[in-house]
Each structure stands twice: as C-alpha cells, then as structure tokens.
Structure 1
C-alpha cells in the first residue's frame, strides 16, 4: 500500500478548508502566483509591443512559472521527506491540501441558494457575483440559480478533480504546477484584445491540463447524479471551452435543467448555446440538489484516492 497522500489531503480540505484566520495572516499560496503574473503582465504586456512580442513574452512567463513552481515543490517535498523520514508523506499531504477546494466551493455556492430561498434576490446576486465573472445585477431568480450551478459544476473540475488528478500522477510538484497553470489562465488567459496575445500560451496549456480531468469530472457527476449521460454526450461540445462543457452538461442532465445560454459581460450580452437544451429553468432547489450531487461526486474522489493508495 502506498502512502495515502491524496486521500489525507482531501480529508483535510473537506474538514478544514482554508481557514479565514489563516488567509488573513498569510493569504493563500496561489496569491504568490498572482503576484508573479501581475508583475510579468505589467511589464511584458505593454500595448506598444507587437502582438508577436507579447505572445512570446507570455510564453516565457508561463514556462518560467511552471519551471519555478515545479522545482520549488519538488525541493520542498524532498526536504520534508529527508527531515521526517517515513512520515514525510504526512507533510506532502499537508502541503497538497491548500490546492484543493471542496469546502471552499461549497461555502461559496450554498449562500446563493439560502438567499434565494429567503426571497433575498439582491443578496443572492451579491453572493453569486463572488464566484462568477458575468454581470449579475439584472439576473432574475432563474439566472442566479443557473450561474451558481454552472460555476459549481465547472469548478468541480478546476478546483478538485484536476488538482487531484495531477497530485495522483506527479505528487506535490504535479498539483502545484497545475494550480500555477490554472491561476495563469484565470488572470491572463482571456480572449479580450488586451490579453489575447500575452495570455495565449496560458490558456492553451490550461486547456491541455484540464482535458482529461474535465471528462472525468463529467463522468463522476453523472454517476453521483444518477443520470445526465445523454445530455453530457450531446451538449458537452456546445460550450466555448473544450473542457467546461463536460461537467456543466453532466450537471444539467442530472438536474434536468438548461444551463449556459445568453450571458452578459461588462454590459454586453453574448448569445451562447444552451447546455441541457429542452430542460426547464433552474430554481433555488436545483442549487441544493446540485450541491448534494457535488458532495457525492467528491466522496467518489475519496474512494478513488483511497483505491489508488491501496493498489499502488
């Protein structure tokens, strides 16, 4: 039996999350990635530079971030094992724990449902605005519910399945390199003119890093939701992202609701295809059910992590 690093990291994350007091004192590890990326973007993505130069500097930025993160995580992991000997795996689990987001995601989505069930639409809009990038000030109850369910499904992949996948595959360097890539995509991997060239490499690498985890996430949500297979197969590729459509379509099918569709960013409405087309409008109760499906899918990951440790 191998050391249960991934399973213990999952348990720590579910039980503790990343406590507010700890965040207030030291922030979160991904904050270091954000600071590096902000510095690199400010100096390398100047508008007077040509698109080719900005793309090249963006490639240098993400490759450097990956190399430094992987080397640092490898060194820290090695030193902890040298220091603690046979108990070094516990340090690895503790160091991997902040890269997971089971508890955090639940804590951010649950208040949206609670506000809607109280009839507090402004409060629900404010709560969902903390986890989505779209305009929320004009969303109705169905729009808020849809936004919450979409981010829950997509973040199940980005925040839990993908980091766990890379942790199981390559240990501590794997999980933190993934978090560096995903943070870079979130900050600079956008299609808007300002970011398109500089963030091109970050977006493409993130697509590759999430390709298999996204499909695993979709399968897990279908199993946990006892359905959704047909919708996932039919609509997963309707999403603009090559990956996000898989968990979103799985969740839409499991709930029997329609997700995606028209959405506004910075006051401009974008017409996007529906996922789960033909399904009904989402409700606050669907957010609660989606959270239950999400919890069961997370438990399936615990089983997988435990099984890998047992069989390895």
Structure 2
C-alpha cells in the first residue's frame, strides 16, 4: 500500500508544493507540532526544575507529540482504507503529501540563486535567512551561496529522503511520526543550556530516525552528481551532527566545493571544520549546479519508490 502512496505524494509535492492559498487557509501540520512543542516547553522546561526532571519532562513531551502524530495518522489511514476500499490509498497519499518538501526546497534555494545572479546581496541574504539558522547579515556572496547549498544538501535528507523512507516503511503513521520528531529536534534539540536537558530526547530520537536516510541521501547525491565518494567517506564526520555531514559531504564532493567552515550563530562565531577540499568561493553558478544534482537525486528517489511499488 505504501509504495503507490509514496509515488502519488511525490507527484503532488513536485507539481504543487504546499500552495500559499492552502497555507493561508489551513496552515501546515508542522505548525501544529511547533505550537504543541512550544506549549510543552513553556510549561515544563523551567529553570527551577533539576536537569533530570527537565529531561524526563522532555521525554514526556516527545512521547505525547508522537502519540498524537502517529495515532492521528494511523486512524486516518485506517478509516480511509476501510471506507474507500481500493481507492483509499489516494486519500492516504493526499495526507502524506504535506510531509514532503521537494518543490518548496527547490523554490527557496533557487530564489537565493536568482538574487545572487542579480547582484542583489541584501536580497540574497534575506532569501537565505529563510532556510538557515546561522547569522546572515554579514555574509558575502560566497557565504550566502555556501549556506544555500548546505541547506539544500541537509534538507534533501530531512525534507525528502527521510520522510519518504518512513512513509515506505511504516505508511502514514511513520511519515508523520518522523515529521513530529524532526520538528521537535529543530526547535528544542539544541546544546545550549536552555534546551540541553529538555530537548535531549528530541535530539537523540532525530539522530536515530535519520541514521539510515542520511547515508542513503549521501549515496544518492554522489550518484546524482557523478562523484564525490572520496569526500563523502572522508568528511561526513566533520559535522557536529552524526547525520547532516553525509549529504553535505556528498554535495561538496560532487560539486568540488568546500562547505561548512566557521559559522556565526546569534553573534557567536563557531570554528567548524571545512567539508570538502575544493574552492570555497561559491556563487550563483554553484547554486545552479547544486540544484541540478538535487533534481537528479530526487529523480532517483522516485525510481526507488517506483521500484518498490513494482516489486510489491
């Protein structure tokens, strides 16, 4: 059942993304997750609680979120298949569609490239600030381009490859449980004092959920880019995340670029290691090449989903 659902969901996302009129009317499920996480964090992540208690309350928050996401998705999937019979998978595909981000990721990164090509550094900084968490106000053109490419590579995993992996493996409950965990990690799974204890469960669960998809994403980017394997194996562990380095190293190797390196967050410079050993002076042409690799990697995911459907 999951395989035709995956193909249909990929097709809907590629054709439509998540349309703005729909977003204005109903929002996005991830927004609901964010509000629930924020409410739990505000209520339970208090300085007066000890480290162990805050970590336990963080575990409880994540379990409640997972129960809601997976439970609602399982119920919807069951009802659709039970009531619509052989046509129920179409409804399941529609409900899986918002969990994928092929179109929106492409559009956001292309917008950065268009501003860079136009020589509009201020506009490029603003465009890239929509997809990265680092400070962007002082980035030069190369820094903007690298940030966009790094986000493209990392988001290929957690925005497309990983949701598709869990959709194929566990159906609608799997994909929405993954999105809940990934949202929690992005909001509270940080190492700063405020979140270290409360966000521990979210960060570790996200690491586990992305372990296989990240390595799959890295391999697909190397295949799509016609190389990069040496950099993938050498530099994948240069990232603080046990997973994000795999697609980033693959993209760096495929493009012959250096990515990552020193990055500022909230005014504090972090001396992160470089990934790749090519040129760090990226520009709009590098973004275009990265998008071409990304599109071919997405096509490979389509082939995987189609192959799984054929085998089933």
Q: TM-score, with normalisation over the residues of structure 2? A: 0.98
Instruction: Describe the superposition over 1:199-256 as per-residue Cα deviations: whole angstroms up to 9, x where unpaired.
Output: 0000000000000000000000000000110000100001100000000000000000
Query: Over aligned residues, Cα RMSD in angstroms?
Result: 1.0
In 1, the alpha carbon distance for the partners of 2:60 and 2:259 equals 37
3-state SS of paired residue (1:269): strand
1:41 match: 41
Q: Report the alpha carbon displacement of residue 281 of structure 1 after superposing the two structures with TM.
A: 2.3
In 2, the alpha carbon distance for the partners of 1:246 and 1:265 equals 22
3-state SS of paired residue (2:269): strand
The count of aligned residue pairs is 312
Q: Report the alpha carbon displacement of residue 180 of structure 1 after superposing the two structures with TM.
A: 0.4
Q: Report the alpha carbon displacement of residue 2 of structure 1 after superposing the two structures with TM.
A: 7.4
1:209 match: 209
In 1, the alpha carbon distance for the partners of 2:229 and 2:253 equals 7
3-state SS of paired residue (2:49): coil
2:220 match: 220
Residue 237 of structure 2 is aligned to residue 237 of structure 1: yes
Write the mapping of 1:271-290 to structure 2, written as runs, cut at 5 A: 271-290=271-290
3-state SS of paired residue (1:131): coil
Residue 66 of structure 2 is aligned to residue 66 of structure 1: yes
Residue 53 of structure 2 is aligned to residue 30 of structure 1: no
3-state SS of paired residue (1:264): strand
Contact 1:82–1:88 (8 Å) recurs in 2: yes
Residue 70 of structure 2 is aligned to residue 75 of structure 1: no
Instruction: Describe the superposition over 1:140-169 as per-residue Cα deviations: whole angstroms up to 9, x where unpaired.
Output: 011000000000000000000000000000
3-state SS of paired residue (1:18): coil
Residue 136 of structure 2 is aligned to residue 136 of structure 1: yes
Q: Report the alpha carbon displacement of residue 260 of structure 1 after superposing the two structures with TM.
A: 0.3
Contact 1:256–1:280 (8 Å) recurs in 2: no
Deviates more, 1:81-90 or 1:250-259: 81-90
Q: Which runs of 5+ in 1 are unaligned?
A: none
1:123 match: 123
Q: Report the alpha carbon displacement of residue 65 of structure 1 after superposing the two structures with TM.
A: 1.1
Runs of 4 or more above 6 Å deviation: none
1:309 match: 309
In 2, the alpha carbon distance for the partners of 1:147 and 1:99 equals 23
Q: Report the alpha carbon displacement of residue 3 of structure 1 after superposing the two structures with TM.
A: 5.5
Write the mapping of 1:105-184 to structure 2, written as runs, cut at 5 A: 105-184=105-184
Write the mapping of 1:1-12 to structure 2, written as runs, cut at 5 A: 4-12=4-12
Q: Which runs of 5+ in 2 are unaligned?
A: none
In 1, the alpha carbon distance for the partners of 2:181 and 2:141 equals 34
In 2, the alpha carbon distance for the partners of 1:76 and 1:301 equals 25
In 2, the alpha carbon distance for the partners of 1:212 and 1:67 equals 23
In 1, the alpha carbon distance for the partners of 2:269 and 2:35 equals 31
Instruction: Describe the superposition over 1:87-138 as per-residue Cα deviations: whole angstroms up to 9, x where unpaired.
Output: 0011111110000000000111101110011110000000000100100000
Q: Report the alpha carbon displacement of residue 280 of structure 1 after superposing the two structures with TM.
A: 4.0
